[in-house]
Amino acid sequence: MTDERLDLWIAYFVNLRNVLKLSEWRIILEDKLPDNPDCGAAVQTLYGRRVASVRLCYGWDDLGPERQRLYATHELLHLYFTPIQSVMDRAKECFGDQAELAASYHMEQMEYAIDGLAEAIAPLLPLPEDTE
């Protein structure tokens, strides 16, 4: 993705971040693909910092504005769940295999929750202005 396109998308993510009342988070847009090729986008947070690193899928520019908005909303909503995820990460550190299954189930349920919230909230948020 060109620097110009990255600048456009970071501006869009920052705008959505502010609308979603997540302005304490710094958003970084990485020029890398998500580890999972099935994901439209992915977000990672840095331990102990309110910094979120976002990656966009191959072909992001061609997804269309509604899907881009939905995926962007989904990734940003993950930030509300970061503290809860940290608890599960700690449990895995403390209890190892015993917590692994619970952590896996927790992650799956969290994705369902975030996906449902994103579907409900995204239509209320601004679309990307320029996706050409």
Binding site for Zn ion (CB under 5 A): 111
Closer of 98 and 104 to Zn ion (Cβ): 104
Distance CA 50, CA 36 (A): 23
Residue 39: CB minimum distance to Zn ion, A:
8
Closer of 100 and 111 to Zn ion (Cβ): 111
Distance CA 39, CA 42 (A): 7
Residue 92: CB minimum distance to Zn ion, A:
18
Residue 15: CB minimum distance to Zn ion, A:
20
φ/ψ region of 97 (left if φ > 0, alpha if ψ in -120 to 50, else beta) reads alpha
Closer of 2 and 36 to Zn ion (Cβ): 36
Report the 10 Å Cβ neighbour count for 55: 20
